[in-house]
Structure 1
Amino acid sequence: MKHFQKIYVLLILFFYPLCSQGQERINWIDFTELDSLLAVSPRETLLFIHTDWCSYCRKMEQEIFTKKEIVQLINKRYYAVHLDAESIQDIAFDQSMWRPLGKRKKTGQYHPLALQLLQGRKMIFPTLLRFDSEFRLKSIQQKYLNSKELSVFLE
Structure 2
Amino acid sequence: MKHIRKIYVMSMMLFYPLCHFGQERINWISFEQLDSLLAVEPRETLLFIHTDWCSYCRKMEQEIFTKREIIELINQRYYAVKYDAESTEEIVFDNSIWKSLSRKKKVGKYHPLAVQLLQGKQFVFPSILRLDSKFHLKSIRQKYLNSKELYAFLE
Q: Which residue of the partner structure matches residue 4 of structure 1?
A: none
Partner of residue 72, structure 2 = 72
The answer for the alignment partner of 2:125 in structure 1 is 125
Name the CA distance, whole Å, in 1 between partners of 2:114 and 2:20.
Answer: 33
Q: Which residue of 2 aligns with 1:85?
A: 85
- Residue 20 of structure 1 deviates from its aligned partner by 4.3
TM-score, with length taken from structure 2: 0.87
| In 2: Cα distance, 1:19 partner to 1:126 partner | 32
The Cα shift of 1:22 comes to: 3.7
2:53 corresponds to which letter in structure 1?
W
Equivalent position of 2:25 in the other structure: 25
- 1:88-143 CA distance string (max 9 Å, x none): 10000010000001110000000000000011111100000000011000000000
2:112 maps to a residue whose letter is P
**Equivalent AA in structure 2 for residue 99 of structure 1:** K
Cα RMSD of the aligned pairs, angstroms, is 1.3
What code does the residue aligned with 1:113 have? L
Give matches, 1:1-155, under 5 Å. Answer: 18=18, 20-155=20-155
Runs of 4+ in structure 1 deviating by more than 4 angstroms, as ranges, are: 17-20
Helix, strand or coil for the counterpart of 2:66? Answer: coil
Report the secondary structure of 2:80's partner residue: strand
Separation in 1 of the partners of 2:95 and 2:63? 35
Structure 2 counterpart of 1:60, one-letter code: M
The SS at the match of 1:79 is strand
What code does the residue aligned with 1:44 have? E
Q: What TM-score, normalized by structure 1, do the two folds share? A: 0.87
SS of 1:153's partner is helix
CA deviations over 1:27-67 (Å, ceiling 9, x no partner): 00000000000010000000000000100000000000000
Aligned length: 140
Query: Partner amino acid for 1:107?
Result: V
**Partner SS state of residue 63, structure 2:** helix
Distance, in Å, in 1 between the alignment partners of 2:126 and 2:18 is 32
> In 1, distance between residues paired with 2:64 and 2:147?
6
Gaps of 5+ in 2: 1-14
Task: Note the residue ranges of structure 1 that are not aligned, 5 or more in a row.
Answer: 1-14
Letter in 2 for 1:72: E
One-letter amino acid matched to 1:115: V
**1:23 shift after superposition:** 1.3
